[in-house]
Amino acid sequence: MKWVRLVAVLGLLAMAASGAVYLWFARAVEGPGPLQASVTVIVAPGAGVSAIARQMVVAGIADRPWMMVLEARRSGQDRHLKPGEYRFDPGVSIAGVLGKLVTHEVVARFVTIPEGLVAAEIRQILRGAEGLTGELTSPILDGDLLPETYRYEWGDHREDVVARMRAAKAAAVRELWAARASDLPLNSPQEAVVLASIVEKETGLASERAQVAAVFTNRLRRGMKLQSDPTVLYGLSRAGDRGGLTIADLERPTPFNTYVISGLPPSPICSPGRAALAAVLNPAISVDLYFVADGTGGHAFAATLEGHNRNVARWRDIQRQNDLR
């Protein structure tokens, strides 16, 4: 009987010790870790729980790799840890680290494509976006993509971001085309993109887009040439001439010289934003046929050539006064 009692006592002691160890382990897993300042860690694809635990120790997030491994395996989380870029705050616990890795709570990165860029400029931005991977292999044409700010994650492929940008453009054009004004001199969504690219280059003022769009749609209805300087510059740049615009250039024939050709150029001259597309598809109600810079960053509009000539004279006076300063 004494042996039975001794075994029972030892069993109770073992259970108590086991319980104490479990409580210590649970507190250690849930308690604050040693991290003193926020840190970002990139967990590579294919990294196992042991490698991740060592990486957390090196980053100062944990001080006992075996404890993280044990907790991950005990909870079954070791089979669900996801790669990516993670930001950890000071004092993050082992449980907090594992939770982030399981739920894939990664750092959000953003790349902004401004309105009015040509394809080569967009490609340069995407090539320089930190965290994106892979080369751009598919062709990108001017007007293909929607300028906007796009969210991505570390390790995303550049081609996938381009695909999202292309889909966003298609969705925007489809939506705006469906709600377009009824009397537009545009035969297709692509023609709307072409005209929007011209509007995008002609003015940087949001308040003017619909007015500029009205001038161009009015000219198209009347069969007048668009006479847009940005289209001339674009045609010259495609021919390898990147100098300033001259009077002779306005008479130089290219497929994009709207002083020479009638109607729209054959393709967009940049990537227009949603606002420019909206302006073209619902332009201001106006009889204006002309506009010229007004010296304040905007434009003066006119319905007649006489009125336009007066505006041009004012603009030239402003230029002369600026030259004398």
Digit-coded pLDDT (tens) for 71-101: 999 999 999 999 999 999 999 999 999 999 9
Question: Quick check: 324 pLDDT over 90?
Answer: no
Residue 12 has a pLDDT of: 43
21-59 pLDDT, tens digit per residue, is 667 667 888 889 999 999 999 999 999 999 999 999 999
Report the alpha-carbon distance of residue 282 to residue 278 in Å, rounded: 6
> Alpha-carbon Rg of the chain, whole angstroms?
32
| In a shared domain, residues 67 and 87 | yes
211-267 pLDDT, tens digit per residue, is 999 999 999 999 999 999 999 999 998 877 766 778 888 888 899 999 999 999 999
Report the alpha-carbon distance of residue 147 to residue 151 in Å, rounded: 13
Neighbours of 117 (CB within 10 A): 18
| In a shared domain, residues 216 and 274 | yes
* Within a domain: 300: yes
91-147 pLDDT, tens digit per residue, is 999 999 999 999 999 999 999 999 999 999 999 999 999 999 999 998 999 999 999
| In a shared domain, residues 131 and 45 | no
Residue 222 has a pLDDT of: 96
Residue 321 has a pLDDT of: 82
Which of the listed residues 122, 138, 168 is the one where a domain comes to its end?
A: 168
**Residue 299 forms beta bridges with which residues?**
293
Report the alpha-carbon distance of residue 167 to residue 145 in Å, rounded: 8
- Torsion angle defined by CA atoms of residues 279, 280, 281 and 282, in that order, rounded to the nearest 10 degrees: 50
| In a shared domain, residues 205 and 271 | yes
* Within a domain: 28: no
Residue 9 has a pLDDT of: 40
Q: Tally the residues of the chain.
A: 325
Residue 8 has a pLDDT of: 45
| In a shared domain, residues 227 and 319 | yes
Among left, alpha and beta (phi > 0; psi -120 to 50; other), residue 132 is beta
Give the CA distances from residue 153 to residues 82, 100, 157, 261, in Å, rounded to whole numbers and listed in that order. 13, 15, 9, 45
Residue 172 has a pLDDT of: 98
Q: Are 294 and 311 in contact (CB under 8 A)?
A: yes
| In a shared domain, residues 148 and 268 | no
Question: Quick check: 173 pLDDT over 50?
Answer: yes
Q: Are 86 and 107 in contact (CB under 8 A)?
A: yes
Residue 275 has a pLDDT of: 97
* Within a domain: 269: yes
| In a shared domain, residues 228 and 143 | no
62-73 pLDDT, tens digit per residue, is 998 999 999 999
Residue 16 has a pLDDT of: 45
**Residue whose structure tokens are 């991740």:** 52
| In a shared domain, residues 268 and 196 | yes
**Residue whose structure tokens are 């680290």:** 97
In the chain, % of residues over pLDDT 70 = 91
CATH of residue 74's domain is: 3.30.1490.480
Residue 123 has a pLDDT of: 97
Report the alpha-carbon distance of residue 197 to residue 124 in Å, rounded: 20
In the chain, % of residues over pLDDT 90 = 79
**Residue 291 forms beta bridges with which residues?**
301
| In a shared domain, residues 273 and 306 | yes
Domain count, the chain: 3
Q: How confident is the model at residue 207 (pLDDT cuts 50, 70, 90)?
A: very high
* Within a domain: 12: no
Residue 185 has a pLDDT of: 96
| In a shared domain, residues 200 and 309 | yes
Report the alpha-carbon distance of residue 256 to residue 237 in Å, rounded: 10
Residues 6 or more apart whose CB falls under 8 angstroms from that of 184 comprise 192, 217, 281, 283
Q: Are 215 and 286 in contact (CB under 8 A)?
A: yes
Residue 26 has a pLDDT of: 73
Report the alpha-carbon distance of residue 53 to residue 68 in Å, rounded: 6
Residue 319 has a pLDDT of: 83
* Within a domain: 179: no
| In a shared domain, residues 237 and 310 | yes
Residue 7 has a pLDDT of: 45
* Within a domain: 4: no
Residue 57 has a pLDDT of: 95
| In a shared domain, residues 314 and 286 | yes
* Within a domain: 23: no
Which of the listed residues 62, 88, 107 is the one where a domain comes to its end?
A: 107
pTM for this model (two decimals): 0.85
Report the alpha-carbon distance of residue 311 to residue 149 in Å, rounded: 37
Range of the domain at 41: 33-107
* Within a domain: 298: yes
CA 233 to chain centre: 26
268-319 pLDDT, tens digit per residue, is 999 999 999 999 999 999 999 999 998 888 999 999 999 999 999 998 888 8
And the tokens for 51?
């490698």
And the tokens for 219?
């000219």
The DSSP code for 61 is S
